[in-house]
A = this chain, B = another copy of it.
Amino acid sequence: MEEAGAPLDAETKVVEHPADHEADIRLWLRLFTCTTLIEGEIRRRLRESFDMTLPRFDLMAQLDKARVGMTLGELSERMMVTNGNVTGLAERLVAEGLLDRRPAPNDRRAQLVSLTTEGRRAFRAMARTHEGWIAEIFEGLTPEEIDTLMRLLGRAKTSARDAIVRGEKE
Chain A interface (Cβ < 8 Å from any Cβ of B): 19, 21, 23-28, 30-41, 45, 80, 131-132, 134-141, 143, 145-150, 152-164, 167
Contacts and interface: CB of A to CB of B under 8 A. Distances in A.
Given A137-B159, A141-B156, A35 B37 contact: no
Given A152-B149, A155-B141, A155-B145, A19 B132 contact: yes
A30 to B, nearest CB: 5
A157 B80 contact: no
A39 B34 CA distance: 13
Contacts of A164: 37, 41, 137
Nearest to A79: B36
Contact of A160 (B38, B147, B160, B162): B38
Contacts of A37: 80, 157, 160-161, 164
A94 to B, nearest CB: 25
A25 B169 CA distance: 34
A34 B31 contact: yes
A34 B156 contact: yes
A145 B138 contact: no
Contact of A157 (B19, B34, B131, B163): B34
Given A32-B39, A40-B80, A150-B30, A163 B137 contact: yes
21 contacts: A19-B135, A23-B150, A26-B150, A28-B134, A28-B137, A30-B150, A32-B35, A32-B39, A33-B157, A37-B157, A37-B160, A37-B164, A38-B160, A137-B163, A139-B162, A140-B155, A140-B158, A141-B156, A149-B149, A149-B152, A149-B153
